Amino acid sequence: MKNKFVQAILVIALGSALVSSCKPKNSGDAVSGDAAQRVYVAPGKYDEFYNFVSGGFSGQMSVYGLPSGRMMKVVPIFSVDPESGWGFSEETKPMLNTSEGFIPWDDQHHLELSQTNGEVDGRWIFANANNTPRIARVDLKRFKTSEIIELPNSAGNHSSPFITENTEYVVAGTRFGVPGDYDKGDVPINTYKENFKAHISFIKVDKESGKMDLSFQLRLPGVNFDLSHAGKGKSHGWFFFTCYNSEQANTLLEVNASQNDKDFIMAVNWKKAEEYIKAGKGKIEKTKYAHNTWNDETHTGTSVIKDEVLVLDAMAMKDICYLMPCPKSPHGCDVDPTGEYIVGSGKLAALIPVFSFDKMVKAIGKKDYEGDYEGIPVLKYNSVLHGEVQKPGLGPLHTEFDGKGNAYTTFFVSSEVVKWDIKTLKVLDRVPTYYSVGHLMIPGGDSKKPFGKYLVAYNKITKDRYLPTGPELTQSAQLYDISGDKMKLLLDFPTIGEPHYAQAAPADLIRNNGQLKIYDIKKNNHPRVAKGEKETKVVREGNKVHVYMTMVRSHFSPDNIEGIKVGDDVYFHITNLEQDWDVPHGFSIRRAQTAELLIMPGETATLNWKPSKVGIVPFYCTDFCSALHQEMSGYIRVSPAGSNVPISYSLGTNLPASSTK
């Protein structure tokens, strides 16, 4: 078996080398003649769709317009952002807090738009942090991160953040088996099978506010969860996860975690789990995790450390989880719009297995098992199988749906997207990608109602696609028209970071959903707000100095400050007095040890500065705001520690009187 596996690895490695160095065979007529016209969005016109793309190792989310491919915004989530001051301002620092302190970076892989009745509703988008397990909720009225919750008992939050059809839960499966936080963690690594477990987290979402709460976790065998999707329609109440490393290997996983002919798709009956929780079968376990929330009225983030979580041992309950055998090392796990078909993608397989929900339910009813895996029933492969797509390509990864009975699967090794019929399993079309495609996205393609006009492929390799930029080239997104029988390549455009999963929705669904244009300064309840220039002041409290400052086109108030001393801890609480859309102001001070601030109209933000050198220090606006933007600046006098220069401040006059003290 090992020899066969090594041969398979060599085939895949050779295939990867080939697609990295030469074009796919069918690339001659890849771009249609009218492609430029079809992606052109004239000046003053809007794109049809918002495309939300994961930033991978950037930790952020980027927003593009489709079909133009124009990048509209980078939304900071899990990594500090010098452009906006995210993670640098005193208000946003708590949003990056964890049970282990402030963490300024993470690896953001997957995104999921909120849904109502299984359809995209455009209210929120959820994002996962893979490295330090966390889930974030971004408010699409403001395009700002509103909440981040850390996941205890988890290591590598890859299989997330996938949602149930009414956004009842955001669900997350751990990538790595590890001892639970409540278990003894100091154990030999080679005791994996005895001591390592996996946890799936169910995060409740308030249907009105979107507020998240870690409701419960399921304790499971120490397999690696890869990806997941919720059931919908007839399969609502279930969740499906791909699992690999059923061998529970702990070293050289590329070999030792690929010994078994099949791994699993795990089907989780979360409604049954809820029943057990209500019956008191769960156990409160001690742990620590951070729950960070943003307050729109105070413009401030708050971090609370929680110390317990409700855990249900799914291995002890025989009717919560079931395993469906799937070709080894499965990656994508996708559910069609009807909720009947579950597609597994074995990365080392030369076929695509499609499972039937109805057959699964019947097999469970008849206890048509081939055994169990650590107490979890394993259903017979043929009893749950709808069928197999034969010879579709090499290296299947992910599948999305167009709502017309068709599925589209990416193939990493053969660098292509393949279209196939869900019921007949016949291959209908294939197009090349450039190159080594990973995820793909159809607007609404994982919902009950896909919009089915475009498909975007997210590629890992872009040799010969863009101007060279040194040893690393940008990642590539490629837009295809899927409205007809044949797929047509329209456009490719570069992306930030490494895109993994993405989501898209009609622009009007989000643009017309009460988007915030300004913060009403009358409702600004920041504890240090100055709602007008008459409220500006500078206050010394020991070695702390609080500057209550305002900004408006084109000056700061105050713009001359004296009495600051070396060693002081200075807090600039700055309020943007503008009440006009798209008039932010920036603030930066010479030799600041942190980033600038970018402050929206009506918002208050705080920058902490510790002067270390005597002298005159200028500050200025960093975001172009008017013809007199260059004049929007000011000065601070920094005196030696222990000097007797009093605090004074002014605007428009040379006050205080000239002094050399």
Mean pLDDT of 80-90: 97
Q: Among 445-449, 566-570, 589-593, name the one with the lowest average pLDDT.
A: 589-593
pLDDT digits (tens, 9 = 90+) for 286-311: 999 999 999 999 999 999 999 999 99
pTM recorded for the entire structure? 0.94
Residue 546's pLDDT is what? Answer: 98
Mean pLDDT of 323-335: 96
Mean pLDDT of 82-89: 96
Residue 86: DSSP 8-state? B
pLDDT digits (tens, 9 = 90+) for 107-164: 999 999 999 999 999 999 999 999 999 999 999 999 999 999 999 999 999 999 999 9
Per-residue pLDDT at 25 exceeds 60: no
Per-residue pLDDT at 85 exceeds 90: yes
Per-residue pLDDT at 564 exceeds 90: yes
pLDDT category at 329 given cuts 50, 70, 90 is very high
Per-residue pLDDT at 83 exceeds 80: yes
Residue 591's pLDDT is what? Answer: 85
Helix (H, G, I), strand (E, B) or coil at 497: coil
Mean pLDDT of 172-180: 96
4 vs 487 pLDDT, higher one: 487
**Numbered ranges of CATH 2.130.10.10 in the chain:** 49-245+268-328+460-511
Which residues have C-beta within 8 Å of that of residue 563, sequence separation ≥ 6? 538, 540, 637, 639, 645, 646, 647, 648
The fold of the 521-660 domain, in CATH, is: Immunoglobulin-like (2.60.40)
pLDDT category at 15 given cuts 50, 70, 90 is very low
Per-residue pLDDT at 598 exceeds 50: yes
pLDDT digits (tens, 9 = 90+) for 2-11: 444 434 443 4
Residue 167's pLDDT is what? Answer: 98
Mean pLDDT, the chain, whole residue set: 94
pLDDT digits (tens, 9 = 90+) for 391-426: 999 999 999 999 999 999 999 999 999 999 999 999
Mean pLDDT of 69-87: 97
> DSSP readout, 591-613?
T-SS--EEE-TT-EEEEEE---S
pLDDT category at 656 given cuts 50, 70, 90 is low
Percent of the residues in the chain that have a pLDDT greater than 90, as a whole number:
90
Mean pLDDT of 258-278: 96
Phi and psi dihedrals of 214, rounded to 5? -70, 105
Helix (H, G, I), strand (E, B) or coil at 521: helix
Which residues have C-beta within 8 Å of that of residue 114, sequence separation ≥ 6? 120, 121, 122, 123, 124, 125, 126, 163, 167, 205, 210
Mean pLDDT of 12-26: 44
How is domain 49-245+268-328+460-511 classified at the architecture level of CATH? 7 Propeller (2.130)
Residue 392's pLDDT is what? Answer: 96
Cα(200)–Cα(286) distance, rounded to whole angstroms? Answer: 17
Mean pLDDT of 498-513: 96
Side-chain-facing half-sphere of 399: CA atoms under 13 Å:
34
Cα(435)–Cα(24) distance, rounded to whole angstroms? Answer: 8
Residue 33's pLDDT is what? Answer: 79
574 vs 27 pLDDT, higher one: 574
**Which amino acid does the sequence have at 593?**
Q
Per-residue pLDDT at 446 exceeds 80: yes
pLDDT digits (tens, 9 = 90+) for 220-238: 999 999 999 999 999 999 9
**Numbered ranges of CATH 2.60.40.420 in the chain:** 521-660
H/E stretch holding 19 reads: helix 2-21
Residue 362's pLDDT is what? Answer: 98
Cα(313)–Cα(421) distance, rounded to whole angstroms? Answer: 39
Per-residue pLDDT at 182 exceeds 80: yes
Residue 258's pLDDT is what? Answer: 87
Residue 654's pLDDT is what? Answer: 81
**Which amino acid does the sequence have at 447?**
S
pLDDT digits (tens, 9 = 90+) for 600-643: 999 999 999 999 999 999 999 999 999 999 999 999 999 999 99
H/E stretch holding 341 reads: strand 341-346
Per-residue pLDDT at 659 exceeds 80: no
